[in-house]
Amino acid sequence: MNQYIRKRRKKPIVELTAQEWYNRIKTLPSDIQPVITKIVWWDYESQKTRATSSPILNEMRDMPLGNIPEIDQIKALIKIGYTAHQASKRVGCRYD
């Protein structure tokens, strides 16, 4: 096995319930909510089956995406609890 391959983190860095994530996401402007929901869903709910994952996040995840600049995505992720490093890594853009 390649010693440089990173294993997927088994435990999320931030542990919130789906309802808590939903409440935090709802504080964001409505145009960015679907984008952020998809990121949160992927990071915290994707390991679950559709039947066991949060119906609230599943519903929001299916909303159409807008064209949101990467820097705004990073700021929104930071606002709901991601660190600046996590958010910039997740979006794939540097945040200074």
Q: How many domains does the chain have?
A: 1
* Domain that residue 65 falls in: 18-91
The answer as to whether 87 is a domain residue is yes
The answer as to whether 1 is a domain residue is no
The answer as to whether 49 is a domain residue is yes
Question: Which segments of the chain does DSSP mark as H helices, in order?
Answer: 18-25, 33-44, 55-61, 70-80, 84-91
pLDDT tens readout for residues 16-66: 888 898 899 999 998 999 899 888 888 877 676 666 666 666 676 667 677
The answer as to whether 8 is a domain residue is no
The answer as to whether 96 is a domain residue is no
pLDDT tens readout for residues 3-28: 444 444 444 456 788 889 889 999 99
pTM of the model: 0.72
The answer as to whether 34 is a domain residue is yes
Count of Cβ atoms closer than 10 Å to residue 22 Cβ: 18
